[in-house]
Amino acid sequence: GEDVEQSLFLSVREGDSSVINCTYTDSSSTYLYWYKQEPGAGLQLLTYIFSNMDMKQDQRLTVLLNKKDKHLSLRIADTQTGDSAIYFCAESAGNMLTFGGGTRLMVKP
Amino acid sequence: NAGVTQTPKFQVLKTGQSMTLQCAQDMNHEYMSWYRQDPGMGLRLIHYSVGAGITDQGEVPNGYNVSRSTTEDFPLRLLSAAPSQTSVYFCASSSASHPTYEQYFGPGTRLTVT
């Protein structure tokens, strides 16, 4: 399958912005997603971006897509302790998803 | 709606034992999938189904069987458990008609094979 890569860990202070990065390889992906996993729970869809868009903003979340470099990022403004979780990017071929390894975000008070 | 449910939440098996992980969804979704999650490796697709009676292999199918006799249920069978199958298993479902193909995940089953 295609590889989706993320850095393993990010630590920020409460109130700062967090930026989580992801690179993917399948240029035919229709949608790219960000999922959030809280401790002991399954994954929940946080946001997504259609492949013909460059940016999507949803309250504190901003998704940037650079198709030329196959680079996806998630920016969380005013990061809160409740944002501490593992964040997965994923690319799709229809209903099948390929996930990155996940980035653990730690928010310090 | 209960969404996607999985049982059991935790399971310990001895090497060579078999068992079935249960998954059910009440959203009338056509697509169902099984993933395993290992540290630093994200989720890897084991098997998936595009509808009742239709299943296919994902990235890591060896040692696992599935069947899809109804739209609601998609059990995962471990034929002869091995320590390499120690993992957290997630079931997911999605609708073929949903424009963004959003997948809904169950809470997971944590399996330890000794």
Residues of chain A predicted below pLDDT 70: 1-2, 94
- Among chain B residues, CA nearest to A104: B40
Beta bridge mates, B59: none
Judge: A88–B59 Cβ closer than 8 Å, yes or no. Answer: no
Give per-residue pLDDT as tens, B56-73.
999 999 999 999 999 999
Chain A residues touching B101 at Cβ < 8 A: 30-31, 92, 94-95
Give per-residue pLDDT as tens, A23-40.
998 777 788 999 999 988
The tokens for A44 are 């929940």
What's the length of chain A?
Answer: 109
Tell me the pLDDT of chain B averaged across its residues. 93
Give per-residue pLDDT as tens, B33-52.
999 999 777 899 999 999 99
Q: Are B112 and B11 in contact (CB under 8 A)?
A: yes
Chain B residues touching A40 at Cβ < 8 A: 107-108
Give per-residue pLDDT as tens, B3-29.
999 999 999 999 999 999 999 999 999
Give per-residue pLDDT as tens, B67-90.
999 999 999 999 999 999 999 999
Confidence (pLDDT) at A2: 53
CA distance A41 to A19: 23
Q: Are B90 and B21 in contact (CB under 8 A)?
A: no
Tell me the pLDDT of chain A averaged across its residues. 91
Q: Are B61 and B79 in contact (CB under 8 A)?
A: no
Confidence (pLDDT) at A1: 43
